[in-house]
Amino acid sequence: MTDTLPPNGPATPSGSDVVRMARLISAVIERELAGEDLTLDDWLVLEALGASPGLTMAELRAQTLTAAPTLTRVVDRLVARAAVFREVDADDRRKVRVNLSKRGAALHTRLLATVRPAEQAWFDEHGVSPWMVSR
């Protein structure tokens, strides 16, 4: 797979183009995470919790688009690293909420300083429209 997009592609990208762009930007992010021994799924969880603390596993699954069994393994791995912690929901004891720990918040902040510029450089280099990255 090359690290560039076709310069004269269609005005509206095809599904294949979007998947290809997602894989290329994923590789950019993974390079930034490698030094911390984190995966893209780990980053998606840290990013979701950084933006919305105290998400339930169902809410995390919806925000990260990660399969439930994979998400459980990711959260378990982040708990083992003391980056996140689980707590029982105060109003509904059937729900478990996940939060960044102080260590996890510091990790998230530190990674933002490298991930965001790397993402932006890739977006600028490939002329990716802002609508494609809005949250």
pTM: 0.84
pLDDT, residue 5, reads 54
pLDDT, residue 1, reads 44
pLDDT, residue 48, reads 98
CB 53 within 8 A of CB 100: yes
Which domains are delineated in the chain?
Answer: 15-132 (1.10.10.10)
Per-residue pLDDT of the chain (135 residues; tens, 9 = 90+): 445 555 555 567 788 888 888 899 999 999 999 999 999 999 999 999 999 999 999 999 999 999 999 999 999 999 999 999 999 999 999 999 999 999 999 999 999 999 999 998 988 888 776 566 555
Residue 123, judged by CB atoms within 10 A of its CB (0-12, 13-18, 19+), counts as middle
Q: Which of 32, 13, 11 is closest to 122 using CA atoms?
A: 32
pLDDT, residue 107, reads 98
